[in-house]
Amino acid sequence: MPRKRKSQITRSKSTRRTRPLTLRQQEERVKCLAAIRRYRRGEAKSLSAAARTEEITVKTIRALLPGAILQDRPGGRIRVKGSDRYSARVEILSIFGPEVTKARGSRQRELAGQHRSIALRALRGQEPPSSLERFRGKTVGGRELISDFERLSSFAHAGILGNLDSLYVGPDVSA
């Protein structure tokens, strides 16, 4: 059997080496994830409208998150998949307080966002404390989400929670 030349050997996608993203690309990637989230939740009528809101372009989303979108033919409608496998660093409220961890996939990112929203609403008195019970035993990035309202309120009174504006963590904060 003849041997293949180097030009005939093709690498699979899993063995292809990629360069690490630059700081700017990491920041844009966070915006791309936010735009896709905005479209999935129905806050924007189209992907381009969601991208404009996040101050990026669809071309950037296509370059940084190609596995999250579908296009049947060139020039055709761009659709967003129901879920994706992209990881992102998020700040969660764990049983040990606020932690930065890696959410693997859109399902974990969504779970982290829902937990943060309900926890903050429970602290403000807009949700009953029992609403945190649905997160009992749930994890994001291997970290257990807090479901005990007493512990959460003790973190808030101690000032441990701090500023919880954004779910996604920028590239300059270490995990």
pLDDT of residue 175: 44
Asked if the structure places residue 57 within a domain, the reply is: yes
Q: Are 58 and 47 contacting, i.e. CB atoms less than 8 angstroms apart?
A: yes
CA gap 110, 96 in Å, rounded: 21
Range of the structural domain that residue 131 is part of: 87-158
Q: What is the number of structural domains in the chain?
A: 2
CA gap 110, 126 in Å, rounded: 20
Do 63 and 103 fall into the same domain? no
173 falls in which pLDDT band (50, 70, 90)?
Answer: very low
Structure tokens at 148: 């005990």
Asked if the structure places residue 11 within a domain, the reply is: no
- pLDDT, tens digit, for every residue of 82-133? 999 999 999 999 999 899 999 999 999 999 999 999 999 999 999 999 999 9
14 falls in which pLDDT band (50, 70, 90)?
Answer: low
Do 40 and 62 fall into the same domain? yes
pLDDT of residue 124: 92
Indicate the DSSP class of residue 20: P
Share of the chain above pLDDT 90, in %: 69
Asked if the structure places residue 6 within a domain, the reply is: no
Range 141-153 average pLDDT: 95
Asked if the structure places residue 140 within a domain, the reply is: yes
Do 93 and 140 fall into the same domain? yes
pLDDT of residue 159: 86
Asked if the structure places residue 61 within a domain, the reply is: yes
* Average pLDDT, rounded, for the chain: 87
1 falls in which pLDDT band (50, 70, 90)?
Answer: low
Do 114 and 131 fall into the same domain? yes
Residue 14 CB neighbours (<10 A): 5
pLDDT over 80 (residue 15): no
Nearest to 129 by CA among 144, 148, 154, 157: 148
13 falls in which pLDDT band (50, 70, 90)?
Answer: low
Do 119 and 135 fall into the same domain? yes
- pLDDT, tens digit, for every residue of 63-87? 999 999 999 998 888 999 999 999 9
Asked if the structure places residue 141 within a domain, the reply is: yes
Do 105 and 134 fall into the same domain? yes
